[in-house]
Amino acid sequence: MAGAEGSLTARSGWWLRLALGIVLLLGIQQRLRSLDQSALFIDEGESSLNALSILANGYPAERYLGLPMFENTLTEPWPESEEYEFRDTSYSSRGMAIYHGWLPLYAIALSQYLHGVRPDERTDPPRVQHDDEEIRRRIRAARLPAVAFGALFLLVTFLTGRMLYGVDAGLAALLFAAFAPKCIWLAQQARYYSAGLALSMLAVYAAWRFHRHGRWRDALAAGAAFVLLFHTSSLAFAIALVPCVLLLPGVLGAPRGRAKLALGALVVTLGIVPWMLWTGYLEHGGRIPMARSSLAFPADYLVYLGGRTGRVLLGVLIVLAFGGVWLARRRLPQRLAAVVGGAGLPVLFAVVWILSAYFGFQVLVPAASCSMARLSHVLIAGPILLGSLGIALLARVVLPGHATLLSAAAAVTMLAASGGQPQQANPYETRAVFELVEHLRGRELEGDTRIYALPYQHFCLTYYTGLPVQSIAPVRREFLDNTPGEVLILETVHRLPPPQWEGVQRRAREHGVALADDEAREWVPLLHRRMIRAEVEPLVRELAPALGPEPEWVGPVVADLRLEAEESGRGRIDFGHDNPAMFAGRPPMTIADFWPAFFYRFVAPERRTGAHLNYAARMRSARALLLPSSWIVLTCPARPDVP
């Protein structure tokens, strides 16, 4: 479509420029809201420590505070290590991170530096090094780069939509990107997700500019954009290359098109291959189980569509209808033929990008990362473009003189009708984290105390406190049994899911006690802690705090609620619906059951769970503290009998 890129000044006037500015500002404001009010989740903690290792070493290294980083499913034995049974395959033999792209990590490191956040140093004895205000600043520093990449995503999404089909498509795409809850959520996480979205769209935009204009500088820009994308997410890089193949005829048809394409390819090669050789990236391929080796075709490849069947079928029908109209465009009136004809390649490009993201993710991703939530991260850009193209096309057919205004109104209407709200962080987890940090702040630890945590919070706790907190998952059972010094183990997850207040009310009634609705709700956290206490008490030497006076009915109700939780399966999640490569065919499990199933998935989990858990023996001598959050601190005393 000649001239589709357009000029805002010539075509739209000041009001559109003002509208674009307002949407951009509102989109950024949405992403900045409450940025430091929720705790980091485990993957964010990993990225934050990777970034601090950049400040310490100049590159994302495998160690922080002297501890090896453990962030992935355990698959590779480490016979040379006395403490660890496994090494982490996220790092090369040269001690460099190779599982994730470096660009987002360097962005986080820059933000940390500007916020005054520096790598911690070990203290003797170990102690918490940061107060709550500093912790909030550390969280904000880690997440702000995602907001910056989110702003870039908004801008480039508008430019790409305009490049593909015009200002009307660009504005609709911008509105979807600015206010779609998923886009807002991704731009508030200290991960590569926001950067991956932004640079995927930037690479696509640069490829279309090269296709449209065919200049030497466009070849350089496209090559550079794909280099940046690779160093953000190699998976997103591979996915974005596929639809760009559709643009090759236009590129090769330009004067000296082959030479310009070769220049772009040379930029990509020089921007990627030396880094691969330097870091040891190429050794990575055979070390990690891939999802495709575990997924059953076609059933597991279609898991994502569960619950989305209606939307998918509607989208397929609309695309097929457009295809039929496009094939018959020569029979249409000239004005309609021009509207439909100009959308042909853009629509095909968006559809191929969606298919490439959907199937490419599952074919190319490691099994541990084959989460349907992560699939949605790489899938979201294509539907945004496809939806904006469809809206703009209909607007030009219905109201050609005011297509931009109608496209914007339609996009706003669709966003309002979807009723989606930005994903909210779990306030319970944030309270529990700060409660645990406060407890650690008040502890007097010995110089040789080793601190371990379940692999949900070990990175985050290290980042918050400056304490060397290690994952318990890769540690040898023999090492824990024979360590002479004090061992602190932090169970940062519920051993049992909390009961529902209706269940509390019903069970109390069965034991002759009538609880009003509000009373039943008030009893839930108290009974939940009592349930967990009953689980833990037989496993440890001592459990605090001691039980205080309680009504006679509490004990029988707790026993009933424990039995009900076991028999009903309530609180158990079918993780196969999120990661079929790891959990297809497995029964639902609690969050407490998840970490052994995930981290030991390929190394005989049945030999490392339950009574065979690596810290089960050391736990029997422990003093356990049940925190108000229901998280547990296990203090395993020093063993002077061990040399």
Q: What is the mean pLDDT of residues 11-23?
A: 82
Nearest-angstrom CA–CA distance, 197 and 265:
22
Q: Is residue 607 pLDDT above 80, yes or no?
A: yes
| Mean pLDDT, range 344-355, rounded to an integer | 97
Q: What is the mean pLDDT of residues 243-248?
A: 97
DSSP annotation of 609: S
Mean pLDDT along residues 217-226: 98
**For residue 278, what is the enclosing H or E element?**
helix 257-279
pLDDT (0 to 100) of residue 285? 66
Other Cβ atoms less than 10 A from the Cβ of 127: the count is 14
Tokens standing for 629? 């959050």
Whether the predicted pLDDT of 636 surpasses 90 = yes
User: Distance (Å, rounded) from C-alpha 584 to C-alpha 300?
Assistant: 8
pLDDT at 138 over 90: yes
Let me know: does 408 contact 181? Beta carbons within 8 Å: no
Name the band, by pLDDT with cuts 50, 70 and 90, for residue 2. very low
Cβ atoms within 10 Å of 383's Cβ, excluding its own: 19
- Indicate the pLDDT class of residue 3, thresholds 50, 70 and 90: very low
DSSP type of residue 432: H
Residues β-bridged to residue 453 = 471, 490
Encoded tokens for 220: 């350089």
DSSP sequence for 111-128? HHHHTT-------SS---
Please check whether residue 635 is in contact with residue 623, taking contact to mean a CB–CB distance below 8 angstroms.
yes
Please determine, for residue 560, whether its predicted confidence score (pLDDT) is greater than 80: yes
pLDDT band, very low/low/confident/very high, at 7 (cuts 50, 70, 90): very low
Q: In 3-state terms, the chain is what percent helix, strand and coil (to 5)?
A: 65, 5, 30
Beta-bridge mates of residue 44:
none
Residue 122 has pLDDT above 60, yes or no: yes
Instruction: Classify residue 97 by its DSSP letter.
Output: B
Considering only CA atoms, which of 627, 624, 594, 434 is closest in space to residue 525? 627
8 A C-beta contact, residue 169 and residue 343: no
Q: Which is nearest to 88 in space by CA: 63, 51, 58?
A: 63
Q: Is the pLDDT of residue 642 over 90?
A: no
**Residue 611 vs residue 242, higher pLDDT:** 242
Residue 209's φ and ψ, nearest 5 degrees, are -65, -40
How wide is the angle at C-alpha 620 spanned by C-alphas 617 and 622, nearest 5°?
115
Give the model's pLDDT for residue 12. Answer: 56
Q: Which residue has the tokens 């802690």?
A: 529
Tell me, letter by letter, the H, E, C secondary structure of 158-214: HHHHHHHHCHHHHHHHHHHHHHCHHHHHHCCCCCCHHHHHHHHHHHHHHHHHHHHHC
Tell me how far apart the alpha carbons of residues 26 and 442 are, in angstroms, rounded to a whole number: 42
What does the block give as tokens for 215? 């200049």
Distance CA 187, CA 32 (A): 9
Contact 268, 223 (CB under 8 A): yes
pLDDT bracket for residue 148 (50, 70, 90): very high
Of residues 474, 458, 470, the one with CA closest to residue 614: 474
Phi-psi region of 214 (alpha: psi -120 to 50; beta: other; left: phi over 0): left
DSSP-derived letter for residue 587 is P
On the question of a cis peptide bond just before residue 298, with omega within 30 degrees of 0, the verdict is yes
pLDDT digits (tens, 9 = 90+) for 436-479: 999 999 999 999 999 999 999 999 999 999 999 999 999 999 99
Q: How many CA atoms lie within 13 A of 218 on its CB side?
A: 19
Summarize the confidence of residues 410-422 as an average pLDDT.
85
Residue 9 has what pLDDT? 44
Angle among Cα 373, 421, 198 to the nearest 5 degrees reads 55
Strands 450-453 and 487-491: parallel
Given this model, what pLDDT does residue 5 score? 42
Q: How far is CA 218 from CA 215, 223, 255, 385, 524, in A?
A: 5, 8, 13, 22, 62
**pLDDT tens sequence across 371-395:** 999 999 999 999 999 999 999 999 9
What percentage of the chain reaches a pLDDT higher than 70? 97
What's the CA gap between 325 and 328, in Å, rounded? 5
Strand partners, 451: 469, 488
Say if strands 450-453 and 469-471 run parallel, antiparallel, or are unpaired. Answer: parallel
Q: What is the pLDDT of residue 119?
A: 97
Cα separation, 426 vs 498, in Å, equals 15
Ranking 2-16, 138-152, 205-219 by mean pLDDT, the lowest is 2-16
What residues are paired with 635 via a beta bridge? 488, 623
Tens digit of each residue's pLDDT (9 = 90 or more) over 275-285 = 999 999 988 76
For residue 450, what are the β-bridge partners?
487
Give percent of the chain with pLDDT exceeding 90.
82
- Predicted local distance difference test score (pLDDT) of residue 585: 87
Pairing of strands 623-626, 632-636: antiparallel
Record the tokens describing residue 378, joined without a space: 């790489």
Q: Mapped to the 3 state alphabet, what secondary structure does 290-345 carry? A: EHHHCCCCCCHHHHHHCCCHHHHHHHHHHHHHHHHHHHCHHHCCHHHHHHHHHHHH
Q: What angle do CA 377, 378, 379 make, to 5 degrees?
A: 95
Supply φ then ψ for residue 471, to 5 degrees. -65, 140
Q: What is the pTM of this model?
A: 0.94
Out of 101-110, 214-223, 276-285, 409-418, least confident range = 276-285
Is the model more confident about 88 or about 14? 88
Cβ contact 486:450 at 8 Å: yes
Greater model confidence, 537 or 423: 537
Residue 61's DSSP bridge partners are: 96
User: What is the average pLDDT across 529-545?
Assistant: 95
Dihedral angle computed from the Cα positions of residues 60, 135, 464 and 198, in that order, rounded to the nearest 10 degrees? -40
